């Protein structure tokens, strides 16, 4: 009877050690992914600011090609914001568009 208990305890200890090892490996993977996402968000934020500065500059050359490039830059600007919002959706960080829309709603309420 004691031998069965000893065998069961050894088996459970072995399984427990295996689970601890796998848990450690998965936690390292999660931490690595989290660091990569934070770096990516920092890069996206920097590029978003640079594109925003470019879009605020008025265009003096009226050409179809120039207008098309500016429209492409605006699309990239929106895409960067969309990706950043999707990555931070669960965290609860407000985006620039959400902040502007909430500020506009407050101004409309104050005007009426």
Report how far apart the first and last C-alpha atoms of the chain are (Å, whole number): 84
Q: With bands split at pLDDT 50, 70 and 90, how would you rate the model's confidence at 24? A: very high
Query: How confident is the model at residue 26, as a pLDDT?
Result: 94
Render pLDDT for 36-66 as a digit per residue (tens, 0 to 9): 888 887 887 888 788 788 778 777 777 777 7
Range of the domain at 16: 2-111
CA-wise closest residue to 55 among 68, 71, 44: 71
What percent of the chain stands above pLDDT 90?
22
104 touches 94 (CB < 8 A): no
The closest alpha carbon to 83, from 53, 45, 52, belongs to 45
The tally of domains found in the chain comes to: 1
């Amino acid at each position: 009877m004691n031998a069965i208990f000893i065998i069961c305890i050894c088996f459970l200890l072995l399984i427990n050690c295996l689970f601890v090892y796998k848990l450690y490996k998965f936690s390292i993977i999660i931490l690595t992914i989290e660091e990569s996402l934070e770096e990516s968000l920092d890069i996206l934020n920097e590029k978003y600011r640079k594109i925003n500065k470019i879009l605020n500059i008025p265009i003096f050359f009226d050409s179809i090609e120039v207008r098309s490039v500016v429209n492409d830059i605006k699309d990239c600007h929106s895409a960067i914001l969309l990706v950043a919002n999707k990555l931070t959706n669960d965290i609860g960080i407000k985006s620039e568009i959400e902040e502007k829309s909430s500020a506009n709603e407050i101004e409309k309420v104050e005007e009426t």
